[in-house]
Amino acid sequence: MRLLDRLVPGRRPRRTLLLGGARSGKSSLAERLLADAADVTYVATAGHRDGDAEWAERVELHRERRPADWRTVETCELPPLLGRNGGPLLVDCLALWLTDAMDRVGAWEEERWYGGGERELRDRTAELVRALATSPRRVVAVSNEVGSGVVPATASGRRFRDELGRLNAAVADVCDDVRLVVAGRALRLSDR
């Protein structure tokens, strides 16, 4: 147990990372962790998918669960939000943030990836991790855990899996509280 935790019983972590598979309950847990907090901003990194009714239904279910007084911001520009003073942030999710970042650097194309995209992605990831580590806000971040499943059949799929594993590890390294959510149950992986 950290000294600060012993000195301030009941202290809430400033940075929490919730990892899990699809439909594991990680987003619901993130919402419960901030249910009593004031001035919460829900940061949705999913974006829009025109013509995808199933995706729209998923987004709507997330919206319906949130308290009415929470503000929603749809963006993948996380460092500026993390750098501002304010109420807690719930970031859902880092895997979708990574997808956007990989799109921006052309990571899906071999030539672009090895021609500078890999370096650009690592720079974006490092910027995000620095912003999270120094954020004055309480942050609960959600991310998918994809490293335990089947090895993707494509090089780009394996690249995404590997980069998400690196991102999750780097984020976990700057979080006070990291939990793995499976079947709606959370297993605490670390307390710093």
- Examine residue 3 and state whether it is found in any structural domain, yes or no: no
Which pLDDT tens digit goes with each residue over 49-60?
Answer: 677 777 677 767
- Establish if 67 belongs to a structural domain: yes
5 domain residue, yes or no? no
| Of 21-25, 29-33, 44-48, 109-113, minimum mean pLDDT range | 44-48
Which one-letter DSSP state was computed for residue 12? P
Catalytic residue among 12, 14, 58, 62: 62
Distance CA 188, CA 166 (A): 19
62 is catalytic: yes
Kindly indicate the confidence band of residue 2, based on its pLDDT and cuts at 50, 70 and 90. very low
Helix ranges (H only) for the chain are 3-7, 26-33, 53-65, 78-83, 94-105, 110-112, 118-134, 155-173
Residue 49 falls inside a structural domain: yes
**Residue 6 scores a pLDDT above 70:** no
In the predicted model, what is the mean pLDDT of residues 82-96?
96
Contact 20, 92 (CB under 8 A): no
| Residue 6 falls inside a structural domain | no
Considering the chain, what is the average pLDDT of its residues?
88
Residue 94 has pLDDT above 90, yes or no: yes
Q: Domain range holding 162?
A: 12-191
Number of domains in the chain: 1
Residue 98 falls within a domain, yes or no?
Answer: yes
Angle at 43 between CA 37 and CA 155, to 5 degrees: 135
CATH number of residue 46's parent domain = 3.40.50.300
pTM: 0.87
